[in-house]
Structure 1
Amino acid sequence: MPFTTGFTFTTLPRSHSDPSKFHRLTTLYKSFRLRSLRLSPESFGSTYAREAAFPWDTWTCRLSNPLATTVVAYKTASSPSLASEMNSTPAAGVPMPPDDASLDAALDAEWLASLTILGPLDAATLATSLHLDPDLVDLGSSQQQQQQHILSGMYVVPSARGEKLGVRILEHVKDLIASGAGSRGQGGARVSLVVDYDNAAARSTYERCGFGVVHRYWFDDYREGRGARTEAAVMVLDIGGGSLNDL
Structure 2
Amino acid sequence: MSEPSYTYIRVSKTDALESSAQKYRHLRLQGLESSPESFSSTYETEAAFSNDDWIQRLSAPDRETFICVAKAAGEQDAPGIGDWVGQVTLRGPMSASEFSLPKEAGQGAINADNEERWQLLGLFLLPAHRGGGRGSRLCREALNHLQRCQPCPRSVHVRLMVKPDNQTIVQMYERLGFVHTGQCTLAEAMRAAGDGHLLPSDTSDPKYSNRSGIIMSSHLHRI
TM-score when normalising by structure 2: 0.78
CA change 1:135–1:230 in 2 (3 A) is closer
Residue 145 in structure 1 maps to residue 114 in structure 2? yes
C-alpha displacement of 1:135: 4.9
What fraction of aligned residue pairs are identical, expressed as a percent?
26
Structure 2 unaligned spans of 5+: 188-198, 200-205
Q: Deviations over 1:31-89 (max 9, x none)?
A: 111111111101111111111112222111101101111110123489xxxx9xxxxxx
Separation (CA, whole Å) in 2 of partners of 1:217 and 1:188 = 24
Separation (CA, whole Å) in 1 of partners of 2:93 and 2:155 = 11
2:172 alignment counterpart: 205
1:184 alignment counterpart: 151
1:122 alignment counterpart: 95
Aligned residues: 197
Residue 28 in structure 1 maps to residue 28 in structure 2? no
Mapping for residues 12-23 of structure 1, pairs under 5 Å: 12-16=11-15, 21-23=16-18
Residue 66 in structure 1 maps to residue 35 in structure 2? no
C-alpha displacement of 1:176: 0.7
Mapping for residues 1-247 of structure 1, pairs under 5 Å: 6-16=5-15, 21-76=16-71, 101-102=78-79, 104-105=80-81, 109-127=82-100, 133-143=101-111, 144-180=113-149, 183-219=150-186, 228=207, 231-240=212-221
C-alpha displacement of 1:141: 3.9
Separation (CA, whole Å) in 1 of partners of 2:124 and 2:22 = 17
Secondary structure of the corresponding residue to residue 121 of structure 1: coil
Separation (CA, whole Å) in 1 of partners of 2:157 and 2:24 = 27
Asked whether the equivalents of residues 183 and 211 of structure 2 are also in contact (C-alpha less than 8 Å), the reply is no
What one-letter code is carried by the residue in structure 2 that aligns with 1:206?
A: Y
What one-letter code is carried by the residue in structure 2 that aligns with 1:53?
A: A
C-alpha displacement of 1:126: 0.8
Asked whether the equivalents of residues 198 and 231 of structure 1 are also in contact (C-alpha less than 8 Å), the reply is no
C-alpha displacement of 1:219: 4.8
Secondary structure of the corresponding residue to residue 153 of structure 2: coil
TM-score when normalising by structure 1: 0.71
2:202 alignment counterpart: none
Separation (CA, whole Å) in 1 of partners of 2:51 and 2:158 = 30
C-alpha displacement of 1:218: 4.7
Separation (CA, whole Å) in 1 of partners of 2:46 and 2:135 = 23
Separation (CA, whole Å) in 2 of partners of 1:122 and 1:116 = 18
Structural RMSD (CA) = 2.6
